[in-house]
């Protein structure tokens, strides 16, 4: 059955929506059509062994549920069964809802659970209340979805087409659970290209998506591998937070004959239900810029208690964006390099490239990935590619078993110009990547050569040391009325008993209000000469109230005779990794501020050297092309033409 036939079959099934129009919202069509499609497919698959299962159900009716389920699975010769005598074609026209739910409840646990997550019974009752249930059941009972007319692979394509239609019909939320197929195809192709040695007939590989959604990445990778290998065993694993998306994903796996026990429901960050497992290939499109405050305690506890033995050893990003947590989660599931390693394809927004300065959680995560040589390539995508956002996005390709020619390097591919306009927008999705552009992008990646759209950098090119540059504190002091008035604002002075406070202010007022002192030590002596006998906190408060910064004043020295830094003049410089911080300072800083120095106490926790190490990937900067402004004469001519038109309009109005 070719792709066009799949689309026709899907369109025929979707035509049931004509029955629903008016009584249900368009966004609800998929919630009815998908579970009915699944139900009919399962029914058709079970036809050859139906009688054996019904007989076995009667024979083993008194056995414990767990034992009985195993015996019925054996009788069905499938990973699921239905123990009811009923079929869609034999449901009563007078008590359809009761019969239908009895039929669905007779499925094995995995299949039954899918219908529960679809909230199938709720929709059955709504259909019944609108006198539509029997008509829908009749339509599906006449649809031939048997394995003889539609293979598992073909059924998967039909189901995929229905999922796509469902997502498009409710695109206001589709982006949270459904990745556009062009992006799925591109990301999957990038991760699986040049992997022929692992994708061979008879081979066995595992694929994982921690944000499985409706299962698009899992389905696409399976299809890709089967086409390339000519037939191999692909074990699909995933976890999904949204119950409805989970149900669709699980149903998709079931109609394709996949092991559905490996598809889990729940929050991946808070509760990894496939903990300890490792996978050959991993694909993910985590939510963009979504806060992880709801799981903050679990994630923070794991980071603190398990460190690098857990998933989040390098650090934690800011709570407002958890996408890097999903990336670290995937990295923790990589196979050891000696076992062949793993490859990851993950779609992220722009912030993971550069958010967070040296020492921040984001920077430490980038540092870990780059210094462990895991980042193979980053592909910049066109904007307006997703249903719920038009922002810039990037595909990261990671591997812990890079080929020799890629080791120590990162390839950046600028595919922002490879977009085709859609005839009709779907939410925020106004563009798509056509098949020929996908092939061109994958070819750029596969060739691993530099060009206009592809640049290659050593890992250290993205690293730097943030040094702290200090400048000396220079203050002048004066007992002017304006500065004396500031004494009342100082907390140590406010805490003094009133007589002491008044005496202190009176003593300060005896100083010459016109004289400006440019040396702190000299002014301190003048205070003592005025009869002030005070402790260090109060003295500091007086100096603070009566001082102003003055670039011409003497440098303030600490108790050891060293220059005291002025916090208001403190600055940071990012020194490229590998360059001497002192050489950089001498060349870039000292010519402009000769009295500055490097704070050598600020050192990196990991290597102990001066300066905090940071990593960022300024993707756009590397592909920026300067566009010179238009000539002034041309701009002046445009302005004159514009003012002339306005003048004519005004004259026309006054005529």
Quote the pLDDT of residue 170.
Answer: 60
Strands 233-240 and 263-265: parallel
Residue 348's CB: how many other CB atoms inside 10 A? 22
The pTM for the full model equals 0.84
Residue 373's CB: how many other CB atoms inside 10 A? 17
Kind plus residue range of the DSSP H or E element containing 325: helix 323-331
Distance CA 456, CA 506 (A): 71
Quote the pLDDT of residue 655.
Answer: 61
For 485, counting Cβ atoms within 10 Å of its Cβ (0-12 exposed, 13-18 middle, 19+ buried), the class is exposed
Residue 341's CB: how many other CB atoms inside 10 A? 16
**Residue 446's Cα: distance from chain center in Å?**
25
Residues 6+ apart with CB under 8 A from 264: 238, 239, 240, 273, 274
Distance CA 309, CA 143 (A): 52
Distance CA 375, CA 569 (A): 38
**Residue 354's Cα: distance from chain center in Å?**
14
Beta-sheet strands, E only, within 269-389: 281-284, 343-349, 375-380
For 266, counting Cβ atoms within 10 Å of its Cβ (0-12 exposed, 13-18 middle, 19+ buried), the class is middle
Distance CA 520, CA 535 (A): 17
DSSP characters for 23-69? TB-GGGHHHHHHHHHHHHHHHHHHGGGHHHHHHHHHHTTTS-HHHHH
Distance CA 400, CA 339 (A): 11
The correct answer on CATH 1.10.10 for the domain covering 1-169 is no
CA 298 → CA 210, 271, 295, 364, distances in Å?
17, 8, 6, 20
* DSSP code, position 547: E
Q: Are 395 and 186 in contact (CB under 8 A)?
A: yes
At 341, list the tokens. Answer: 């390693």
Quote the pLDDT of residue 172.
Answer: 47
Distance CA 480, CA 515 (A): 9
Q: What is the mean pLDDT of each run of 10 residues along the chain (655 residues)?
A: 63 85 85 91 93 93 90 91 94 93 93 91 94 94 88 77 71 56 92 90 92 88 86 92 86 81 93 95 91 94 95 95 96 95 96 94 97 97 85 95 95 94 82 94 95 95 97 96 93 91 90 94 89 85 95 93 95 95 96 96 95 95 81 87 89 74
Q: Are 466 and 572 in contact (CB under 8 A)?
A: yes
Half-sphere exposure of 587 toward its Cβ, with a 13 Å CA cutoff?
Answer: 7
Q: How many residues does the chain have?
A: 655
For 390, counting Cβ atoms within 10 Å of its Cβ (0-12 exposed, 13-18 middle, 19+ buried), the class is middle
Quote the pLDDT of residue 167.
Answer: 67
Q: Are 388 and 179 in contact (CB under 8 A)?
A: no
**CB burial readout 584-605, b (16+ within 10 A) else e:** bbeeebeeeeeebbbeeebebe
User: Closest by alpha carbon to 31, among 117, 147, 139?
Assistant: 117
Residues 6+ apart with CB under 8 A from 246: 117, 212, 240, 263, 265
Q: 């982006």: which residue's tokens?
A: 175
Quote the pLDDT of residue 4.
Answer: 53
Strands 281-284 and 263-265: unpaired
Rounded (to 5) percent helix, strand, coil in the chain = 50, 15, 35
Distance CA 237, CA 263 (A): 6
Beta-sheet strands, E only, within 319-408: 343-349, 375-380, 393-399
* DSSP code, position 21: B
Quote the pLDDT of residue 489.
Answer: 93
At 549, list the tokens. Answer: 């910064």
């Amino acid at each position: 059955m070719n792709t066009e036939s799949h689309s026709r079959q899907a369109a025929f099934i979707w035509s049931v929506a004509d029955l629903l129009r008016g009584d249900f919202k368009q966004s609800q069509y998929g919630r009815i059509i998908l579970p009915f499609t699944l139900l009919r497919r399962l029914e058709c698959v079970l036809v050859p062994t139906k009688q054996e299962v019904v007989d076995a159900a009667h024979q083993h009716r008194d056995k414990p549920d767990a034992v009985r389920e195993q015996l019925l699975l054996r009788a069905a010769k499938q990973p699921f069964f239905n123990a009811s005598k009923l079929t869609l074609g034999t449901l009563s026209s007078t008590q359809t809802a009761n019969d239908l739910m009895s039929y669905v409840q007779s499925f094995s646990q995995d299949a039954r659970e899918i219908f529960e997550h679809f909230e199938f019974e709720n929709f059955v009752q709504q259909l019944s209340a609108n006198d539509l249930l029997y008509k829908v059941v009749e339509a599906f009972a006449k649809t031939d979805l048997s394995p003889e007319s539609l293979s598992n692979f073909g059924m998967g394509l039909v189901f995929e087409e229905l999922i796509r239609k469902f997502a498009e019909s409710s695109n206001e939320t589709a982006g949270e659970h459904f990745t556009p197929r062009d992006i799925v195809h591109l990301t999957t192709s990038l991760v699986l290209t040049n992997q022929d040695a692992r994708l061979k007939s008879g081979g066995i590989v595992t694929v994982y998506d921690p944000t499985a959604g409706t299962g698009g990445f899992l389905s696409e990778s399976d299809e890709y591998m089967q086409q390339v290998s000519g037939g191999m065993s692909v074990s699909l694993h995933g976890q999904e937070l949204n119950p409805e998306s989970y149900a669709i994903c699980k149903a998709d796996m079931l109609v394709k004959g996949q092991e559905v026990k490996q598809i889990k429901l729940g929050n991946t960050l808070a509760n990894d239900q496939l903990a300890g497992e490792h996978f050959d290939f991993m694909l993910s499109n985590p939510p963009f810029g979504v806060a992880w405050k709801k799981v903050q305690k679990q994630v923070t506890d794991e980071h603190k208690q398990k460190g690098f033995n857990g998933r989040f050893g390098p650090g934690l990003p800011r709570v407002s964006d958890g996408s890097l947590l999903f990336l670290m989660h995937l990295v923790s599931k990589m196979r050891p390099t000696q076992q062949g390693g793993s490859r990851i394809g993950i779609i992220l927004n722009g912030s993971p490239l550069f958010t967070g300065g040296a020492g921040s959680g984001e920077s430490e995560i980038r540092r870990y990935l780059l210094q462990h040589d895991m980042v193979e390539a980053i592909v910049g995508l066109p904007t307006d590619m997703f249903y719920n956002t038009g922002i810039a996005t990037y595909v990261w390709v990671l591997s812990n078993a890079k080929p020799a020619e890629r080791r120590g390097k990162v390839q950046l591919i600028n595919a922002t110009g490879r977009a085709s306009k859609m005839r009709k927008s779907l939410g925020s999705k106004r563009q798509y990547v056509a098949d020929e552009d996908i092939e061109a992008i994958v070819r750029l990646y596969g060739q691993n050569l530099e060009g206009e759209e592809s640049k290659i950098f050593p890992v250290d090119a993205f690293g730097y040391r943030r040094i702290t540059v200090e400048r000396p504190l220079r203050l002048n002091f004066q007992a002017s009325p304006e500065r004396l008035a500031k004494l009342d604002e100082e907390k140590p002075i406010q805490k003094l008993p009133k007589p002491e406070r008044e005496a202190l202010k009176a003593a300060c007022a005896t100083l010459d209000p016109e004289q400006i002192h440019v040396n702190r030590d000299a002014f301190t002596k003048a205070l003592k000469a005025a009869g002030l006998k005070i402790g260090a906190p109060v003295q500091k408060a007086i100096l603070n109230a009566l001082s102003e910064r003055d670039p011409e004043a003497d440098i303030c020295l600490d108790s050891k005779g060293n220059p005291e830094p002025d916090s208001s003049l403190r600055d940071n410089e990012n020194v490229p990794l590998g360059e001497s911080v002192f050489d950089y300072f001498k060349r870039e800083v000292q010519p402009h501020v000769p009295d500055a120095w490097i704070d050598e106490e600020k050192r990196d926790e990991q290597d102990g050297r001066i300066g905090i190490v940071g990593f960022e990937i300024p993707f756009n900067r590397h592909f920026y092309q300067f566009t010179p402004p238009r000539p002034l004469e041309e701009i002046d001519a445009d302005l004159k033409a514009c003012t002339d038109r306005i003048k004519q309009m005004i004259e026309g109005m006054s005529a």
